[in-house]
Amino acid sequence: MRRLAVLSVLSTAARLVTLFYLFNYSYLRAGQPFIFNATNISRDIRDKWTGLFADYHARIHLHYLEVPYTQLLQQNRNREHPVPETVISHLLDKLDIPEYSEAHDVQHLVDGN
Protein backbone atom coordinates (compact mmCIF):
# COMPACT_ATOMS: atom_id res chain seq x y z
CA MET A 1 0.00 0.00 0.00
CA ARG A 2 2.88 2.36 0.67
CA ARG A 3 3.99 1.96 -2.95
CA LEU A 4 0.51 2.85 -4.19
CA ALA A 5 0.38 5.87 -1.87
CA VAL A 6 3.46 7.26 -3.62
CA LEU A 7 1.43 7.43 -6.84
CA SER A 8 -0.60 10.38 -5.58
CA VAL A 9 2.40 12.72 -5.40
CA LEU A 10 4.03 11.82 -8.72
CA SER A 11 3.42 13.29 -12.16
CA THR A 12 1.03 11.46 -14.47
CA ALA A 13 3.89 9.91 -16.47
CA ALA A 14 5.72 8.85 -13.33
CA ARG A 15 2.50 7.39 -11.93
CA LEU A 16 2.02 5.32 -15.07
CA VAL A 17 5.59 4.01 -14.99
CA THR A 18 5.22 3.14 -11.30
CA LEU A 19 1.91 1.42 -11.96
CA PHE A 20 3.41 -0.59 -14.84
CA TYR A 21 6.33 -1.52 -12.60
CA LEU A 22 3.98 -2.77 -9.86
CA PHE A 23 1.93 -4.84 -12.30
CA ASN A 24 5.03 -6.33 -13.92
CA TYR A 25 6.59 -7.00 -10.54
CA SER A 26 3.50 -8.87 -9.34
CA TYR A 27 3.47 -11.10 -12.43
CA LEU A 28 7.21 -11.74 -12.18
CA ARG A 29 7.02 -12.65 -8.49
CA ALA A 30 4.18 -15.06 -9.24
CA GLY A 31 6.11 -16.60 -12.14
CA GLN A 32 3.13 -15.87 -14.37
CA PRO A 33 3.67 -15.28 -18.10
CA PHE A 34 2.56 -11.87 -19.38
CA ILE A 35 3.00 -9.43 -22.24
CA PHE A 36 4.25 -5.91 -21.58
CA ASN A 37 3.24 -3.72 -24.50
CA ALA A 38 5.09 -0.42 -24.37
CA THR A 39 6.81 2.06 -26.61
CA ASN A 40 10.38 2.21 -25.34
CA ILE A 41 12.29 4.18 -27.93
CA SER A 42 15.66 4.33 -26.18
CA ARG A 43 17.87 1.51 -25.07
CA ASP A 44 18.28 3.14 -21.65
CA ILE A 45 14.55 2.88 -20.99
CA ARG A 46 14.33 -0.66 -22.41
CA ASP A 47 17.30 -1.72 -20.26
CA LYS A 48 15.41 -0.74 -17.10
CA TRP A 49 12.52 -3.01 -18.02
CA THR A 50 14.55 -5.89 -19.47
CA GLY A 51 16.85 -5.72 -16.45
CA LEU A 52 13.86 -6.16 -14.15
CA PHE A 53 12.60 -9.07 -16.25
CA ALA A 54 16.04 -10.69 -16.37
CA ASP A 55 16.32 -10.47 -12.57
CA TYR A 56 13.38 -12.89 -12.46
CA HIS A 57 14.80 -15.11 -15.22
CA ALA A 58 11.96 -14.18 -17.57
CA ARG A 59 12.24 -15.01 -21.24
CA ILE A 60 12.35 -11.66 -23.04
CA HIS A 61 11.04 -11.03 -26.57
CA LEU A 62 11.27 -7.61 -28.22
CA HIS A 63 9.28 -6.65 -31.30
CA TYR A 64 10.29 -3.55 -33.27
CA LEU A 65 7.52 -2.33 -35.58
CA GLU A 66 8.11 0.27 -38.27
CA VAL A 67 5.95 1.74 -41.01
CA PRO A 68 6.83 4.40 -43.59
CA TYR A 69 6.90 7.92 -42.16
CA THR A 70 3.89 9.10 -44.20
CA GLN A 71 1.86 6.13 -42.95
CA LEU A 72 2.97 6.84 -39.38
CA LEU A 73 1.72 10.42 -39.65
CA GLN A 74 -1.57 9.32 -41.24
CA GLN A 75 -2.19 6.73 -38.52
CA ASN A 76 -1.43 9.37 -35.92
CA ARG A 77 -3.88 11.85 -37.49
CA ASN A 78 -6.57 9.14 -37.36
CA ARG A 79 -6.10 8.60 -33.61
CA GLU A 80 -8.65 9.93 -31.17
CA HIS A 81 -5.87 11.92 -29.47
CA PRO A 82 -3.09 12.54 -32.03
CA VAL A 83 0.45 13.15 -30.85
CA PRO A 84 1.84 16.51 -32.08
CA GLU A 85 4.12 15.97 -35.09
CA THR A 86 6.91 17.88 -33.34
CA VAL A 87 6.80 15.27 -30.56
CA ILE A 88 6.90 12.42 -33.08
CA SER A 89 9.89 14.01 -34.79
CA HIS A 90 11.67 14.46 -31.44
CA LEU A 91 11.01 10.83 -30.48
CA LEU A 92 12.30 9.58 -33.83
CA ASP A 93 15.51 11.55 -33.27
CA LYS A 94 15.98 9.66 -29.99
CA LEU A 95 15.09 6.24 -31.42
CA ASP A 96 17.46 3.35 -30.67
CA ILE A 97 16.43 0.35 -32.76
CA PRO A 98 16.54 -2.77 -30.56
CA GLU A 99 19.66 -4.89 -30.94
CA TYR A 100 19.75 -8.67 -30.85
CA SER A 101 21.81 -8.57 -27.65
CA GLU A 102 18.94 -6.96 -25.70
CA ALA A 103 16.68 -10.01 -25.36
CA HIS A 104 16.30 -13.73 -25.95
CA ASP A 105 14.40 -12.94 -29.14
CA VAL A 106 14.31 -9.68 -31.11
CA GLN A 107 12.13 -9.26 -34.19
CA HIS A 108 12.24 -6.32 -36.56
CA LEU A 109 8.97 -5.96 -38.47
CA VAL A 110 9.47 -3.25 -41.07
CA ASP A 111 6.75 -2.40 -43.59
CA GLY A 112 8.42 -0.97 -46.66
CA ASN A 113 5.22 -0.39 -48.66
Domain chopping of the chain, boundaries: 4-110
What's the pLDDT at 12? 78
H-helix or E-strand spanning residue 56: none
**pTM for this prediction:** 0.77
Domain 4-110, architecture per CATH: 3-Layer(aba) Sandwich (3.40)
Residue 18, pLDDT > 90, answer no
Render pLDDT for 32-51 as a digit per residue (tens, 0 to 9).
Answer: 999 998 889 999 999 999 99
Sequence-ordered list of residues with C-beta below 8 angstroms from that of 25, at least 6 positions apart, any chain: 52
Render pLDDT for 65-100 as a digit per residue (tens, 0 to 9).
Answer: 999 999 999 999 999 999 999 999 999 999 999 999
**Collapsed DSSP state (helix, strand, coil) of residue 98:** coil
Residue 40 phi, psi (nearest 5): -120, 95
